[in-house]
Structure formats: structure tokens, C-alpha cells
Amino acid sequence: QKEVEQNSGPLSVPEGAIASLNCTYSDRGSQSFFWYRQYSGKSPELIMSIYSNGDKEDGRFTAQLNKASQYVSLLIRDSQPSDSATYLCAPLPPDNQGGKLIFGQGTELSVKP
């Protein structure tokens, strides 16, 4: 079992729709979770962080965390073509692992006009 699993996609949604990106992780001790957006040929850009169970909203983005199910998701409302990118999920392992992020392979999102 991979430490972090994401559907590689591509996930295709029409402009204005809600895009739902999912991520499961294996380390129950993970406490912090980060979503990065990566445009083709560019480096990852942090868009959301979430630390406790429930929802966290920031503009059109909502992160959802369920530690019991070891599941974290990212919803993008009113998707725009400019949201087309690869979205990387990255849990932060427990303290004894030094702060490195463990990334999933990413989900490619395509928003069609």
C-alpha cells in the first residue's frame, strides 16, 4: 500500500462545476495536511493546509479532513480553466520523522470552458 494515494486522473470537469479531489494516507499519526497546486513545468504552490477534522474554507477552495478514515479531500467550487493543474496531497508524518512531506502522485485536473 502506498503511503499517500490519489487518483492520477485526468479528472475533467466543465467550467463552473465543482471539482472533487481525494486523497487517502496510511500513517495514522499524521496531523497536518497540505494541498499543493502544480502547473505544468512549474513548482508546487501551497494552496491549503488543514490540521483538524472537519472542513476548512478559503475562497473557492474547501479542504475536508477525516482522520478516522485517513481521508482528506479538496473541493474547488466554480471551477475555472485556470484551475487546470495537478493537485498534490501531502500529509506531514508524525514528529519523529523530521518534518518531511510525503506526496501523493497527484491528480491532474482539467477544467473545460
Number of H helices, E strands in the chain: 0, 10
Task: Show the CA angle centred on residue 43, arms to residues 38 and 44, nearest 5°.
Answer: 50
Cβ at position 41, least distance to other proteins in Å: 9
Whether the Cβ atoms of residue 31 and residue 94 lie closer than 8 Å to each other:
yes
Cβ at position 38, least distance to other proteins in Å: 9
Size of interface with other proteins, in residues (CB under 8 A):
26
Whether the Cβ atoms of residue 78 and residue 60 lie closer than 8 Å to each other:
yes
Q: Check residue 54 for interaction with other proteins (CB under 8 A).
A: no
The region of 14-22, 61-69, 77-85, 91-99 touching other proteins under the rule CB under 8 A is 91-99
Binding site residues, other proteins, CB under 8 A: 4, 31-32, 34, 36, 42-46, 49, 51, 88, 90, 92, 95, 97-106
